């Protein structure tokens, strides 16, 4: 059952219209608290007590954001994340008492958009929800408002085309790096994953990927693509703008 409520006065300008959120947590008290708080901000919110319940719910509900606890009985949040990324492109924020870097990295590598340690401040969670929604929608909104074409990655002719038709002069390494980022469809890739895409025999965590990304950004900037690659501090890189793959 959805938890819905009108936004409090003054919140309408901040809340985005029409977003649906599923909250997956086996803790009834915390789940109810999060649902009620987000519903008060104008979101349509659906509670789910397990990954199995999430599967059933998503037969009828198409969420924009899923907030999912990691530590749950039977199937945990990481199992849920693996299943989710095979079925949906909804943004996902993971909640966990596990604060170690390795747990956060595993969640991000599986496709999570953000990772918050529990207990979390509801206002911080709301800010994170709004942030992932902005990242997911900014490119499509800008394209609709401007009525201009976006970036295109042509895998047949192995080239990148800017919205104005220009083609940056890119090396094979540049194109392989872009191919990995575009294939990830907005997910953040670690340096190790990008190095594997460029050279499977390279040593893990080779920081030379930072140098290659920096060089690629300079080339992209010549065609207005300085924001095409975004940095996630302490982890890796992802697309900062939508790129159509053909």
pLDDT for res 203: 58
Q: Distance from first CA to last CA of the chain, Å, rounded? A: 40
197 within some domain? yes
pLDDT for res 23: 96
Residue ranges in the chain whose pLDDT is less than 70:
1-18, 98-104, 136-149, 186, 200-207, 234
Question: How far is 105 from 232, CA to CA, in rounded Å?
Answer: 11
pLDDT for res 11: 41
pLDDT for res 108: 76
Which of 137, 159, 190 lies at the terminal end of a domain, its last residue? 137
Residues 198 and 110 in one domain: no
Question: How far is 194 from 199, CA to CA, in rounded Å?
Answer: 9
pLDDT for res 139: 47
pLDDT digits (tens, 9 = 90+) for 214-226: 888 889 888 888 7
How many structural domains comprise the chain? 2
9 within some domain? no
CATH of the domain at 41: 3.40.50.2300
pLDDT for res 137: 63
pLDDT for res 201: 63
Question: How far is 10 from 130, CA to CA, in rounded Å?
Answer: 16
Domain extent at residue 79: 20-137
Residue 231, number of CB atoms within 10 A of its CB: 14
Contact 26, 48 (CB under 8 A): no
pLDDT digits (tens, 9 = 90+) for 77-136: 888 888 887 777 788 998 887 655 666 677 777 778 888 888 888 899 999 898 888 876
Phi, psi of 93 (to 5 degrees): -115, 125
pLDDT for res 100: 56
pLDDT for res 70: 87
């Amino acid at each position: 059952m959805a938890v819905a409520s009108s936004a409090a006065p003054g919140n309408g300008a901040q809340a985005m219209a029409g977003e649906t959120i599923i909250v997956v947590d086996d803790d009834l008290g915390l789940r109810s608290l999060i649902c009620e708080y987000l519903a008060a901000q104008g979101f349509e919110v659906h509670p789910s007590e397990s990954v199995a319940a999430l599967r059933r719910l998503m037969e009828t509900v198409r969420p924009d954001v899923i907030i999912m606890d990691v530590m749950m009985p039977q199937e945990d949040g990481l199992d849920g994340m693996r299943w989710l990324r095979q079925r949906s492109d909804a943004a996902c924020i993971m909640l966990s008492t596990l604060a170690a870097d390795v747990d956060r990295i595993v969640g991000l590598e599986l496709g999570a958009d953000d990772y918050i340690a529990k207990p979390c401040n509801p206002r911080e969670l709301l800010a994170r929800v709004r942030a992932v929604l902005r990242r997911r929608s900014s490119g499509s909104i800008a394209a609709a408002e401007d009525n201009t074409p976006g970036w295109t990655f042509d895998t047949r002719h192995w080239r990148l085309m800017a919205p104005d038709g220009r083609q940056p002069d890119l090396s094979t390494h540049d194109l392989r790096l872009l191919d990995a980022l575009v294939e990830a469809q907005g997910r953040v890739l670690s340096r190790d994953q990008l190095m594997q895409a460029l050279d499977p025999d390279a040593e893990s965590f080779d920081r030379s990927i930072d140098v290659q990304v920096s060089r690629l950004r300079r080339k992209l900037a010549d065609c207005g693509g300085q924001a095409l690659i975004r940095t996630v501090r302490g982890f890796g890189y992802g697309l900062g703008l939508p790129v159509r793959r053909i």
